Amino acid sequence: MAFEFIQSQLEQRRQQQLFRQRCTQDSAQGRVLVSEGRQYLNFSSNDYLGLARHPKIVEAWREGAKRYGVGCGGSPLVTGFQSPHHDLEQLLCEWQGRPAALLFNSGFSANQGLIKTLLGKNDLLLQDKLNHASLIEAGMLSACPSKRFAHNQLEQLTRRLAERDQQNCLVITEGVFSMDGDQAPIKAMAQLCQQHNSWLMVDDAHGVGCLGEQGRGSLNQQQVNADEVQIQMLTFGKALGVAGASLLCDQELHDYLINFDKSYVYSTAMPAAQAMAISAAIKLVRADHSHQQQLQANIQLFKCLAAELKLPLSQSTTAIQPILIGSSERALVASQQLKQQGFWVTAIRPPTVPPNTARLRITLSSHHQREDIHALLAALASIVGEQHEH
């Protein structure tokens, strides 16, 4: 028998309560989610600003499809770079105050491509231990030596920077950490990297749209200038409600990636209609602050009620509010009990998070109403509170 590990590894996952399965959703993203004929209040979506079905963005996609059809026929160097792609790149540059932007079909492929293209065996990659799998995995697959530093620990990062030889070095962190909701001290990291002649990259998948003036993201919120962080990665599938990603950098690195990054060169470009929808989402986020304000109000309310109920709360002040449970089994049970009461809250288990840190990953959105949050917390108090007593 070939590939016998498939069966044994699946069996192991089942025994450890780590087996994963998909649930079919029958509804669009929104406050309420329909799955297998039942309705749930949705507390698991990354659609933080409720834009995934915003009429203006849907209309932009429709208009794009009418004008450009549904596919762009090729990779960006062949036929796949159309004026909506160009316009979106220009809009990104202006919004973020950067010389150049490059579009990708996903944050996953942007991260993989960048790391594999930029770093060779004589270079060094330093990553926060809690960085997203797309970054950690690319580091493992690339020829370059990569080391991790403890989450947000600048002393350890300083040591790693100081102990290296004269290698090119790239430090990567996230603006907002995807499973914890806490933030990196980007300003201090940028200063450190500058002192040690290293580049810094910030993956702001969960910051863009939600944070900073005009939703510019974590750098703007922390008053970090674009030239202090050499590479910024933004995704469009979370707060911006669409899909896709961009690397923002200087003109030279941009040209280098166009010439050498295989995940850019050898992949069909996103449809022009999608680029138009992303542009519409960015314009909306810049012009209308009400979504961000509503999200902030919901985060405040959640934290306030959770503190009153003495729930095991994290320090996070972002839309990602994890409730740490510990054991995978208990996290699954809590998630199932919440589902029975009509709340969709995903249990996040290893290897997505470190061993024994399974959690309920609650995400808040501008589309939640006050009573939704009150109801969720009442349910959490009885379910998680009860687990604590046993």
Ligand X SMILES: *Cc1c(COP(=O)(O)O)cnc(C)c1O
Residue 219 contacts ligand X per CB under 6 A: no
According to the binding rule CB under 6 A, does residue 178 interact with ligand X?
Answer: yes
CA gap 103, 264 in Å, rounded = 8
- Least distance in angstroms from the C-beta of 305 to ligand X: 26
Interface with ligand X includes 237 (CB under 6 A)?
yes
Query: Which residues inside 34-93 make contact with ligand X, applying CB under 6 A?
Result: none
Nearest approach, Cβ of residue 35 and ligand X (Å): 21
The answer to whether residue 174 is catalytic is yes
- Residue 316 within binding range of ligand X, rule CB under 6 A: no
Binding residue count for ligand X, defined by CB under 6 A? 14
Strands lying side by side in the sheet with 100-104 = 100-104, 245-249, 231-235, 199-203, 169-174, 124-128, 146-149
Q: Using the rule CB under 6 A, which residue among 174, 180, 182, 372 binds ligand X?
A: 174
Judge whether 180 counts as a catalytic residue: no
Select from 50, 80, 84, 107 the one that contacts ligand X (CB under 6 A): 107
Sole binder of ligand X in the list 95, 108, 149, 302 (CB under 6 A): 108
Instruction: Check residue 361 for interaction with ligand X (CB under 6 A).
Output: no
| Residue 144 within binding range of ligand X, rule CB under 6 A | no
Please, which residues have CB within 8 angstroms of residue 242's CB and are 6 or more apart in sequence? 51, 52, 57, 236, 274, 277, 278, 281
Residue listed under structure tokens 């370059």: 144
- Residue whose C-alpha is closest to residue 152's, from 132, 134, 175: 175
- Which residue among 82, 235, 318, 328 contacts ligand X (CB under 6 A)? 235
CA distance 282 to 284: 5
Burial 251-270 (b: 16+ CB within 10 A, else e): eebbeebeeebebbbebebb
Other beta carbons within 10 angstroms of residue 375's beta carbon come to 15
**Which of 116, 132, 303, 367 is labelled catalytic?**
132
Which residue among the candidates 47, 128, 174, 180 is catalytic per the annotation?
174
Q: Which of 54, 116, 206, 303 is catalytic?
A: 206
Q: Which of 361, 375, 362, 217 is nearest to 292 (CA)?
A: 217
Taking residue 157's Cβ as centre, other Cβ atoms within 10 Å add up to: 25
- Residue ranges of alpha helices (H) inside 288-358 are 290-308, 328-340
**Closest approach of ligand X to the CB of residue 236, in Å:** 7
Distance separating alpha carbons of residues 168 and 117, to the nearest angstrom: 13
Q: Interface with ligand X by CB under 6 A: which range of 107-115, 165-173, 191-199, 304-312?
A: 107-115
Whether 132 is a known active-site residue: answer yes
Stretch binding ligand X (CB under 6 A), from 92-100, 102-110, 264-272, 331-339 = 102-110
- Catalogue the active-site residues: 46, 132, 174, 178, 203, 206, 238
Where on the chain is the footprint of ligand X (CB under 6 A)?
A: 106-108, 111, 132, 134, 174, 178, 203, 205-206, 235, 237, 245
